[in-house]
Copies of this chain bind each other. A is one copy, B any other.
Amino acid sequence: MNLTFTFDGIASTIYIEEAFDDIHAILGGDADGGCARLLVCDENTAGIAAKIAPGIVGNAAGSTAGRTQGVRVIARSCEICVLPAGESAKNWANVEKILKAARDAGLGRDGVFIGVGGGVITDMTAFAASVYMRGAKLALAPTTLLGMVDAAVGGKTGFDLFGIKNFVGTFYPSPLVIMPLESLSTLSGREWKSGFAELLKTAVLDSDDDFLDRIGRLKGAFSSPDFPANILQDSFLRGELLACIARSVEIKGRIVEEDPEETGTRRRLLNLGHTFGHALEASAGLGRLTHGEAVAWGIARACDLGQSLGVTGRDRAEKITGLLFSFGYETWAPHPCMKDAGRFMDALFNDKKKTAGKLAFIVPERRGCGVVFIEKNKRTETERILHIINGEAA
Protein backbone atom coordinates (compact mmCIF):
# COMPACT_ATOMS: atom_id res chain seq x y z
CA MET A 1 0.00 0.00 0.00
CA ASN A 2 1.15 3.59 -0.34
CA LEU A 3 0.41 7.06 1.02
CA THR A 4 1.25 10.36 -0.61
CA PHE A 5 1.95 13.68 1.10
CA THR A 6 3.13 17.13 0.09
CA PHE A 7 5.72 18.47 2.49
CA ASP A 8 6.75 22.07 1.83
CA GLY A 9 5.88 21.69 -1.84
CA ILE A 10 7.73 18.37 -2.18
CA ALA A 11 5.68 15.27 -3.02
CA SER A 12 6.58 12.36 -0.75
CA THR A 13 5.28 8.86 -1.48
CA ILE A 14 5.49 6.27 1.26
CA TYR A 15 5.26 2.58 0.35
CA ILE A 16 4.57 -0.03 3.02
CA GLU A 17 5.60 -3.35 1.47
CA GLU A 18 5.59 -6.84 2.94
CA ALA A 19 8.26 -8.42 0.70
CA PHE A 20 11.72 -7.29 -0.36
CA ASP A 21 10.99 -8.21 -3.97
CA ASP A 22 8.39 -5.46 -4.24
CA ILE A 23 10.90 -2.92 -2.99
CA HIS A 24 13.55 -4.22 -5.32
CA ALA A 25 11.13 -3.44 -8.13
CA ILE A 26 10.42 0.10 -6.89
CA LEU A 27 14.11 0.96 -6.43
CA GLY A 28 15.60 -1.27 -9.08
CA GLY A 29 14.17 0.35 -12.20
CA ASP A 30 15.79 3.00 -14.27
CA ALA A 31 13.47 5.59 -12.72
CA ASP A 32 16.37 7.99 -12.32
CA GLY A 33 17.62 7.64 -15.85
CA GLY A 34 20.77 5.83 -14.83
CA CYS A 35 21.96 8.49 -12.38
CA ALA A 36 24.66 7.39 -9.96
CA ARG A 37 23.39 6.07 -6.63
CA LEU A 38 24.87 5.57 -3.20
CA LEU A 39 23.36 3.11 -0.77
CA VAL A 40 24.04 3.97 2.89
CA CYS A 41 23.53 1.37 5.65
CA ASP A 42 25.12 0.16 8.86
CA GLU A 43 26.66 -3.17 9.87
CA ASN A 44 23.24 -4.47 10.92
CA THR A 45 21.38 -3.45 7.78
CA ALA A 46 24.00 -4.32 5.14
CA GLY A 47 22.19 -7.64 4.60
CA ILE A 48 18.84 -5.91 4.05
CA ALA A 49 20.52 -3.38 1.77
CA ALA A 50 21.84 -6.28 -0.30
CA LYS A 51 18.32 -7.68 -0.66
CA ILE A 52 16.87 -4.32 -1.62
CA ALA A 53 19.53 -3.27 -4.12
CA PRO A 54 20.10 -5.58 -7.03
CA GLY A 55 23.40 -7.33 -7.73
CA ILE A 56 25.82 -6.41 -4.98
CA VAL A 57 29.33 -7.37 -6.04
CA GLY A 58 32.65 -7.13 -4.27
CA ASN A 59 33.43 -6.89 -0.59
CA ALA A 60 33.99 -4.18 1.98
CA ALA A 61 36.96 -2.07 0.98
CA GLY A 62 37.88 -1.24 4.55
CA SER A 63 37.48 -3.01 7.87
CA THR A 64 38.12 -1.46 11.28
CA ALA A 65 38.31 -3.54 14.47
CA GLY A 66 36.26 -6.34 12.97
CA ARG A 67 33.60 -3.98 11.69
CA THR A 68 32.37 -4.08 8.15
CA GLN A 69 32.98 -0.57 6.93
CA GLY A 70 33.84 0.95 3.60
CA VAL A 71 32.54 1.11 0.12
CA ARG A 72 31.35 -1.80 -1.97
CA VAL A 73 30.27 -1.70 -5.55
CA ILE A 74 26.71 -2.72 -6.44
CA ALA A 75 26.29 -3.39 -10.14
CA ARG A 76 27.55 -0.50 -12.26
CA SER A 77 25.59 2.43 -11.00
CA CYS A 78 25.18 1.88 -7.26
CA GLU A 79 27.83 1.88 -4.54
CA ILE A 80 27.39 1.16 -0.86
CA CYS A 81 28.70 2.93 2.24
CA VAL A 82 28.59 0.85 5.42
CA LEU A 83 28.78 2.80 8.69
CA PRO A 84 29.12 1.61 12.29
CA ALA A 85 25.75 1.01 14.03
CA GLY A 86 24.28 2.96 16.93
CA GLU A 87 23.50 6.45 18.17
CA SER A 88 27.19 7.13 18.93
CA ALA A 89 27.85 6.91 15.16
CA LYS A 90 25.46 9.79 14.48
CA ASN A 91 28.18 12.40 14.09
CA TRP A 92 29.92 14.63 11.56
CA ALA A 93 32.70 12.09 10.93
CA ASN A 94 30.16 9.62 9.55
CA VAL A 95 28.28 12.29 7.58
CA GLU A 96 31.62 13.15 6.00
CA LYS A 97 32.14 9.45 5.19
CA ILE A 98 28.82 9.44 3.34
CA LEU A 99 29.77 12.62 1.45
CA LYS A 100 33.15 11.14 0.53
CA ALA A 101 31.61 7.87 -0.64
CA ALA A 102 29.18 9.87 -2.78
CA ARG A 103 31.99 11.88 -4.32
CA ASP A 104 34.03 8.73 -4.94
CA ALA A 105 30.97 7.14 -6.56
CA GLY A 106 30.78 10.14 -8.90
CA LEU A 107 27.38 11.38 -7.73
CA GLY A 108 26.40 14.73 -9.16
CA ARG A 109 23.59 16.90 -7.90
CA ASP A 110 21.26 14.46 -9.66
CA GLY A 111 22.77 11.47 -7.84
CA VAL A 112 20.54 9.47 -5.48
CA PHE A 113 21.32 8.80 -1.81
CA ILE A 114 19.46 5.71 -0.52
CA GLY A 115 19.45 5.29 3.26
CA VAL A 116 18.69 1.76 4.50
CA GLY A 117 18.52 1.41 8.26
CA GLY A 118 17.11 2.76 11.50
CA GLY A 119 16.66 6.42 12.38
CA VAL A 120 20.39 7.04 12.78
CA ILE A 121 21.10 5.95 9.20
CA THR A 122 18.06 7.59 7.61
CA ASP A 123 18.63 10.90 9.49
CA MET A 124 22.32 11.03 8.52
CA THR A 125 21.77 9.94 4.92
CA ALA A 126 19.03 12.53 4.47
CA PHE A 127 21.23 15.22 6.03
CA ALA A 128 24.14 14.31 3.75
CA ALA A 129 21.85 14.40 0.70
CA SER A 130 20.47 17.79 1.78
CA VAL A 131 23.90 19.46 1.88
CA TYR A 132 25.69 17.51 -0.90
CA MET A 133 26.35 20.18 -3.54
CA ARG A 134 23.46 22.05 -1.87
CA GLY A 135 21.00 19.18 -2.29
CA ALA A 136 20.94 15.82 -4.11
CA LYS A 137 18.19 13.24 -4.61
CA LEU A 138 17.05 10.99 -1.77
CA ALA A 139 15.20 7.77 -1.02
CA LEU A 140 14.82 6.17 2.42
CA ALA A 141 14.15 2.59 3.44
CA PRO A 142 13.62 2.55 7.23
CA THR A 143 14.24 -0.95 8.60
CA THR A 144 13.09 -0.45 12.20
CA LEU A 145 9.60 0.18 13.52
CA LEU A 146 10.81 3.47 15.04
CA GLY A 147 12.24 4.53 11.70
CA MET A 148 9.00 3.69 9.90
CA VAL A 149 6.57 5.41 12.22
CA ASP A 150 8.79 8.38 13.00
CA ALA A 151 12.29 9.17 11.74
CA ALA A 152 11.89 8.52 8.01
CA VAL A 153 8.63 10.42 7.60
CA GLY A 154 8.33 14.21 7.56
CA GLY A 155 11.69 15.57 6.44
CA LYS A 156 13.69 16.04 9.62
CA THR A 157 17.37 15.19 9.14
CA GLY A 158 20.36 15.58 11.40
CA PHE A 159 23.18 14.36 13.56
CA ASP A 160 24.34 14.84 17.16
CA LEU A 161 26.89 17.46 18.24
CA PHE A 162 28.21 18.58 21.65
CA GLY A 163 26.22 15.70 23.17
CA ILE A 164 22.92 17.18 21.95
CA LYS A 165 20.69 14.97 19.81
CA ASN A 166 20.09 16.25 16.27
CA PHE A 167 21.74 19.56 17.15
CA VAL A 168 22.70 19.97 13.49
CA GLY A 169 20.09 19.27 10.84
CA THR A 170 17.87 20.38 7.99
CA PHE A 171 14.32 19.93 6.73
CA TYR A 172 14.61 17.78 3.61
CA PRO A 173 11.62 15.52 2.90
CA SER A 174 12.42 12.33 1.03
CA PRO A 175 10.34 12.05 -2.17
CA LEU A 176 10.42 8.27 -1.77
CA VAL A 177 10.17 6.26 1.46
CA ILE A 178 9.95 2.48 1.32
CA MET A 179 9.10 0.46 4.41
CA PRO A 180 10.10 -3.21 4.10
CA LEU A 181 7.95 -4.96 6.73
CA GLU A 182 10.14 -8.05 6.32
CA SER A 183 13.12 -6.19 7.78
CA LEU A 184 11.35 -5.99 11.15
CA SER A 185 12.00 -9.72 11.64
CA THR A 186 15.53 -8.89 12.80
CA LEU A 187 14.41 -6.51 15.57
CA SER A 188 14.93 -7.39 19.23
CA GLY A 189 12.05 -7.16 21.71
CA ARG A 190 13.49 -3.91 23.05
CA GLU A 191 13.55 -2.40 19.56
CA TRP A 192 9.91 -3.38 19.02
CA LYS A 193 9.07 -1.70 22.29
CA SER A 194 10.94 1.43 21.29
CA GLY A 195 8.92 1.70 18.08
CA PHE A 196 5.61 1.00 19.80
CA ALA A 197 6.07 4.06 22.00
CA GLU A 198 5.91 6.28 18.90
CA LEU A 199 2.85 4.38 17.67
CA LEU A 200 1.18 5.01 21.04
CA LYS A 201 2.23 8.67 20.96
CA THR A 202 0.64 9.17 17.55
CA ALA A 203 -2.53 7.39 18.71
CA VAL A 204 -2.81 9.80 21.68
CA LEU A 205 -2.70 12.69 19.16
CA ASP A 206 -5.58 11.25 17.13
CA SER A 207 -8.99 12.87 17.39
CA ASP A 208 -10.70 9.74 18.74
CA ASP A 209 -9.64 6.60 20.61
CA ASP A 210 -10.02 4.07 17.77
CA PHE A 211 -6.30 3.93 16.98
CA LEU A 212 -5.35 3.82 20.66
CA ASP A 213 -7.76 0.93 21.22
CA ARG A 214 -6.40 -0.89 18.17
CA ILE A 215 -2.86 -0.72 19.56
CA GLY A 216 -4.22 -1.80 22.93
CA ARG A 217 -5.43 -5.07 21.38
CA LEU A 218 -1.80 -5.92 20.53
CA LYS A 219 -0.58 -5.81 24.11
CA GLY A 220 -1.16 -9.53 24.63
CA ALA A 221 1.37 -10.25 21.89
CA PHE A 222 4.00 -8.40 23.91
CA SER A 223 3.69 -10.69 26.92
CA SER A 224 3.59 -13.90 24.83
CA PRO A 225 6.62 -16.21 25.07
CA ASP A 226 6.77 -16.06 21.25
CA PHE A 227 7.35 -12.31 21.26
CA PRO A 228 8.62 -10.71 19.05
CA ALA A 229 8.55 -13.41 16.35
CA ASN A 230 4.77 -13.82 16.78
CA ILE A 231 4.00 -10.33 15.49
CA LEU A 232 5.18 -11.03 11.93
CA GLN A 233 4.37 -14.77 11.92
CA ASP A 234 0.75 -14.52 13.07
CA SER A 235 -1.19 -13.26 10.07
CA PHE A 236 -3.77 -11.42 12.24
CA LEU A 237 -1.06 -9.62 14.24
CA ARG A 238 0.86 -8.87 11.07
CA GLY A 239 -2.22 -7.29 9.49
CA GLU A 240 -2.90 -5.27 12.62
CA LEU A 241 0.71 -4.09 12.67
CA LEU A 242 0.52 -2.98 9.04
CA ALA A 243 -2.70 -1.08 9.77
CA CYS A 244 -1.11 0.59 12.82
CA ILE A 245 1.99 1.65 10.85
CA ALA A 246 -0.15 3.02 8.03
CA ARG A 247 -2.41 4.93 10.45
CA SER A 248 0.59 6.35 12.30
CA VAL A 249 2.28 7.44 9.07
CA GLU A 250 -0.96 9.04 7.93
CA ILE A 251 -1.48 11.02 11.16
CA LYS A 252 2.12 12.20 11.24
CA GLY A 253 2.12 13.02 7.53
CA ARG A 254 -1.05 15.15 7.76
CA ILE A 255 0.33 17.10 10.73
CA VAL A 256 3.65 17.73 8.93
CA GLU A 257 1.81 18.85 5.78
CA GLU A 258 0.18 21.61 7.84
CA ASP A 259 3.41 22.82 9.48
CA PRO A 260 6.39 21.29 7.67
CA GLU A 261 9.20 23.28 9.30
CA GLU A 262 7.64 23.53 12.76
CA THR A 263 7.26 27.28 12.48
CA GLY A 264 3.77 27.05 13.96
CA THR A 265 2.56 24.97 16.89
CA ARG A 266 0.96 22.19 14.83
CA ARG A 267 4.05 20.07 14.24
CA ARG A 268 5.03 20.50 17.87
CA LEU A 269 2.22 18.10 18.76
CA LEU A 270 4.48 15.32 17.52
CA ASN A 271 6.76 16.15 20.45
CA LEU A 272 4.33 14.62 22.92
CA GLY A 273 6.55 12.90 25.50
CA HIS A 274 9.73 14.11 23.80
CA THR A 275 10.62 17.15 25.88
CA PHE A 276 10.62 15.06 29.07
CA GLY A 277 11.97 12.10 27.09
CA HIS A 278 14.99 13.87 25.58
CA ALA A 279 15.93 15.30 28.97
CA LEU A 280 15.71 11.81 30.48
CA GLU A 281 17.91 10.39 27.72
CA ALA A 282 20.49 13.15 28.27
CA SER A 283 20.37 12.83 32.05
CA ALA A 284 20.66 9.03 31.95
CA GLY A 285 23.51 9.25 29.43
CA LEU A 286 22.82 9.05 25.67
CA GLY A 287 22.27 5.48 24.49
CA ARG A 288 21.33 3.99 27.87
CA LEU A 289 17.59 4.06 27.30
CA THR A 290 15.98 3.50 23.92
CA HIS A 291 14.27 6.50 22.40
CA GLY A 292 10.88 4.85 22.81
CA GLU A 293 11.44 3.97 26.47
CA ALA A 294 12.26 7.60 27.18
CA VAL A 295 9.30 8.87 25.13
CA ALA A 296 6.84 6.49 26.86
CA TRP A 297 8.01 7.76 30.26
CA GLY A 298 7.73 11.31 28.86
CA ILE A 299 4.11 10.70 27.80
CA ALA A 300 3.31 9.61 31.35
CA ARG A 301 4.90 12.86 32.64
CA ALA A 302 2.91 14.85 30.06
CA CYS A 303 -0.22 13.29 31.58
CA ASP A 304 0.98 14.41 35.06
CA LEU A 305 1.69 17.94 33.79
CA GLY A 306 -1.66 18.12 32.01
CA GLN A 307 -3.45 17.02 35.17
CA SER A 308 -1.47 19.45 37.30
CA LEU A 309 -2.50 22.28 34.95
CA GLY A 310 -6.11 21.08 34.79
CA VAL A 311 -5.85 20.39 31.02
CA THR A 312 -5.84 16.57 31.12
CA GLY A 313 -8.75 14.76 32.72
CA ARG A 314 -8.03 12.01 35.23
CA ASP A 315 -9.76 9.32 33.12
CA ARG A 316 -7.77 10.16 30.02
CA ALA A 317 -4.48 10.28 31.94
CA GLU A 318 -5.22 6.90 33.51
CA LYS A 319 -6.18 5.32 30.19
CA ILE A 320 -2.95 6.49 28.52
CA THR A 321 -0.65 5.70 31.42
CA GLY A 322 -2.36 2.33 31.95
CA LEU A 323 -1.81 1.38 28.32
CA LEU A 324 1.86 2.36 28.50
CA PHE A 325 2.21 0.25 31.66
CA SER A 326 0.55 -2.75 30.00
CA PHE A 327 3.19 -2.66 27.24
CA GLY A 328 5.89 -2.86 29.89
CA TYR A 329 7.09 0.76 29.85
CA GLU A 330 8.46 2.45 32.95
CA THR A 331 5.76 5.00 33.78
CA TRP A 332 6.61 5.98 37.35
CA ALA A 333 8.60 9.02 38.44
CA PRO A 334 11.38 9.40 39.28
CA HIS A 335 12.77 7.16 36.51
CA PRO A 336 15.36 4.69 37.87
CA CYS A 337 17.91 5.90 35.24
CA MET A 338 17.43 9.59 36.08
CA LYS A 339 20.70 10.28 37.82
CA ASP A 340 20.08 13.73 39.20
CA ALA A 341 17.20 16.15 38.96
CA GLY A 342 19.45 19.22 38.47
CA ARG A 343 21.09 17.71 35.41
CA PHE A 344 17.67 16.69 34.12
CA MET A 345 16.34 20.25 34.48
CA ASP A 346 19.43 21.66 32.71
CA ALA A 347 18.93 19.26 29.81
CA LEU A 348 15.22 20.15 29.74
CA PHE A 349 15.79 23.89 29.42
CA ASN A 350 18.57 23.47 26.85
CA ASP A 351 16.04 21.77 24.58
CA LYS A 352 16.33 23.15 21.07
CA LYS A 353 12.57 23.73 20.88
CA LYS A 354 12.97 26.52 23.43
CA THR A 355 11.63 29.87 22.15
CA ALA A 356 12.39 33.17 23.90
CA GLY A 357 13.01 31.38 27.20
CA LYS A 358 9.74 29.43 27.02
CA LEU A 359 9.55 25.68 26.65
CA ALA A 360 6.61 24.06 24.87
CA PHE A 361 5.08 20.93 26.41
CA ILE A 362 2.43 18.83 24.73
CA VAL A 363 -0.29 17.54 27.03
CA PRO A 364 -3.29 15.31 26.34
CA GLU A 365 -6.66 17.04 26.15
CA ARG A 366 -10.12 15.44 26.13
CA ARG A 367 -9.47 14.52 22.46
CA GLY A 368 -6.02 14.77 20.97
CA CYS A 369 -3.42 17.04 22.54
CA GLY A 370 -2.56 20.71 23.04
CA VAL A 371 0.50 22.88 23.67
CA VAL A 372 1.32 24.58 26.98
CA PHE A 373 4.31 26.86 27.61
CA ILE A 374 6.50 26.82 30.71
CA GLU A 375 8.76 29.78 31.42
CA LYS A 376 12.28 28.96 32.50
CA ASN A 377 12.49 31.97 34.80
CA LYS A 378 9.17 31.48 36.60
CA ARG A 379 9.98 29.64 39.81
CA THR A 380 6.47 28.31 40.40
CA GLU A 381 6.47 26.77 36.92
CA THR A 382 9.90 25.14 37.12
CA GLU A 383 8.99 23.80 40.57
CA ARG A 384 5.90 22.20 39.07
CA ILE A 385 8.13 20.37 36.57
CA LEU A 386 10.57 19.38 39.31
CA HIS A 387 7.76 17.87 41.38
CA ILE A 388 6.53 15.93 38.36
CA ILE A 389 9.88 14.39 37.44
CA ASN A 390 10.47 13.50 41.09
CA GLY A 391 7.08 11.87 41.35
CA GLU A 392 5.90 14.22 44.11
CA ALA A 393 2.40 15.63 44.41
CA ALA A 394 2.38 19.13 42.93
Which residues of chain A (326-359) have a CB below 8 Å from chain B?
A: 352-356
Return chain B residues, CB-CB under 8 Å to A92: 92, 96
Q: How far is the CA of A169 from the CA of B133 in the complex (A)?
A: 6
User: Is residue A35 contacting chain B, with contact meaning CB distance below 8 A?
Assistant: yes
Given A134-B156, A156-B134, A261-B135, answer yes or no on A99-B168 (Cβ-Cβ < 8 Å).
Answer: yes
Q: Is the CB of B356 within 8 A of A108?
A: yes
User: Is residue A147 contacting chain B, with contact meaning CB distance below 8 A?
Assistant: no
CB < 8 Å neighbour of A161 from B33, B99, B161: B99
Q: Is the CB of A158 within 8 A of B170?
A: no
Return chain B residues, CB-CB under 8 Å to A156: 134
Q: 0/1 per residue, A136-164, Cβ < 8 Å to B?
A: 00000000000000000000111001101
Q: 0/1 per residue, A54-97, Cβ < 8 Å to B?
A: 00000000000000000000000000000000000000100010
User: Is residue A110 contacting chain B, with contact meaning CB distance below 8 A?
Assistant: yes
Return chain B residues, CB-CB under 8 Å to A218: none
Return chain B residues, CB-CB under 8 Å to A110: 355-356
Return chain B residues, CB-CB under 8 Å to A96: 92, 161
Return chain B residues, CB-CB under 8 Å to A100: 162
Q: How far is the CA of A206 from the CA of B37 in the complex (A)?
A: 38
Q: Taking CB as reference atom, which chain B residue is nearest A34? A: B356
Return chain B residues, CB-CB under 8 Å to A261: 134-135
Q: How far is the CA of A302 from the CA of B254 in the complex (A)?
A: 48
Which residues of chain A (109-146) have a CB below 8 Å from chain B?
A: 109-110, 130-135
CB A177 to nearest CB in B, in angstroms, measures 19
Return chain B residues, CB-CB under 8 Å to A353: 109
